[in-house]
Structure 1
Amino acid sequence: MDHAGLGPYQVSNFLTALNLPSIHPSTLRARENEIGSTLKTYTKESCDEALLSEASATSKSGKDEEDDTSPINITFDAAWQKRGSGRSYNSRSATATMIGMETGKIVAFDLKTTDCRKCLFSNDHECNKNFDGSSKAMESALALDMAKSLRDRGFKISKITMDDDSTTISRMRNNIDPNIMKMSDKNHVRKNMSNALYKLQEKHKSLSTKTINYLLKDVSYAISQNKGNAKGLESSLKAIVPHSFGDHSQCDARWCGYLNDPTSYKHSSLPYGKDLIGEDLKRDLLDMFCHYSENSEKMANLGSTQANESMNQLIATKAPKAKHFGGSSSLSHRLAAAVSQKNCGRKYLSQVLTVRNNGVSNKLD
């Protein structure tokens, strides 16, 4: 049920469609809770093994000379269990994962929820609620809790790739380690630049969608060609706007076709292959790209949270956002199922059942 992303009523409907006796939802929930404890233990073991592999791959020495901890590099991202617009956050639950950059496996995961369905009916129960703050605050709280857990177990986050959420990295540096190196996610950088260009389009109607795509493509090329080279990236970013307006004095022959063939050169992606025009547009674009060139040190060392984004999609298949699972332990079981599938593949299903039926210790192989 958890693996397929179905609820108890959907399972009953499925069995009815097959002309098989249905199972009462309360019975399905009871069986889910029984297997859930075994599943979460299995998932924790898979993360522990992934954590050791990540630490070994990150550092050959294995230990930090100063504080006897194992450094690891991770990517982090959170997701809410309710669809939002990006401006309104009112989900009652959120999940987050930390994935090792070297192994690509999940080393830590957690969830926050402000809801407990059982609290409506009884005071004598294991409460599912574990957070009292706002939905937006869940992301930084999740990152902080997972980082503390890793630190307490002897692992130190050396680099973290995430979106440009200043609150999260600030709390981690204040409470965990002030020397954590933060790497921006290249997809979020592109998205932020795209939003800025489309906002500029409201002022300059001549800034067409084709022109915006052209500028974004140039930025992507500049970042890819100058990875780890902050000065080279700064020069390339400063040259993009003048190049688009026909000024090639700052261009580099490695990528500027005009310098190689001035007589027949024309832009391949700009409208009609012609230079952009408009002093006001040029000035605003220069101001915008100047801001990004000043942050070339950060942009030259971009990471990617694509693995986390993919993981969020996998979690959504186990716990669809159209349904609310955060009011019970079901969300934690579904999150564990997604993490196990990521770390161990679909074989986790048979292994968890074997452990549950035989009562033997799980071995991840």
Structure 2
Amino acid sequence: MCALLVTGAPVGRDQGLEVRSLSLAEYRWFLAGHRRASFLQYPSWAEVKDGWRSELVGWQTPSGELAGGALVLYRQFPGTRKYFAYLPEGPVADWSDPHLGRWLDPLMRHLRAAGAFAVRIGPTPAYRRWDAAEVKAGAGPGRRISDLLATEVDPVGAALADRLRTRGWRRCGGEDDGDAQPRHVFRVPLTGRNLDDLWSGLNQEWRRNIRKANKSGVETVIGSGADLPEFYRLLRITEERDGFRLGRSLAYYQQQYTALNAEEPGRMRLYLARHQGEILAAHTMIVAGNRVWYQTGASADHRREVRPSNALQWRMMSDAHSLGADEYDMRGVPSTLDPDDRSFGLLRWKLGTGGQVVETLGEWETPVAGAANHALYRAFQAYLARR
């Protein structure tokens, strides 16, 4: 089995940190100053996760300053009063601090007191990056992204991975499994670029398809919660066509849409592509701080020649730019570079936007100190494996 962290306030080497529970107002105030936090660390995400209880926590300096924060989700292990603690793409902390124990030790003490037997985190620093052109050139039978020399290795991410291993944390799963959040993502940088730059960054196929959609009369609009049933119908068609199953119900997306937009109007948006009065594609986008994510896409099987999905993505990317986002995160991609693998098509499609494949640090787990907790952790792993 076997979570993103954003840099928090710098902490002097002589300063200790303690973790305490935060009120909703305190946590929202903290996030307002850390606008690169993942949407999975916003309070509204706890309302999406049925079966989990939540807590907002913060790292406090001796002077009372909040240096970091996190949304913690707790899942009770059946038949016990113990919990699995999960910080999805979090906490929001200073991962560049070489004194990692000042962050993790007080966190583990707090979670142990809360009844946690194991903890999973998702540090945000990137580990490696590959430019789209390099990935495309490296595709071939049996090849994987890890076979390519990275365009860039993030020094903070590389150092953090070593520090976590030294402290006994275990990286979850492999390249394409084990993590609840995607290990490899695709991101299009927006900072310092105008729309002409973004357009020229698209490959010829993407530009041709967007022009074709416009010429064919494809209209892109922002829908509402009332359009979610149509989105979900198209999603089931997409899952069947592309051979995957997200395992989410319509009620899940309705709950997500309601919770995120109740926290801030426009946090979750549903984009629709219409042609001759019919919705042919529907994609969801999430906005939080200075970041924008394309979350889930769905499209019909017919009239694909008018390229509704390309038109939608260009609209969403343009809107992300107008919102002042640092990047347009297209979320997960597979690690395979084998054109014969069915999942390679998703990667190939995203490569056309001219962004980068980013390998995150992935999710990391450790049992909480104590023999009983270690035994329960092993039982929990076996439980998940059976599920």
When the two structures are superposed, what TM-score results if normalisation uses the length of structure 1? 0.25
Between structure 1 and structure 2, the one with the greater Rg is 1
Decide which structure has greater strand share: 2
Q: Which has the higher helix share?
A: 1
TM-score (normalizing by structure 2) = 0.24
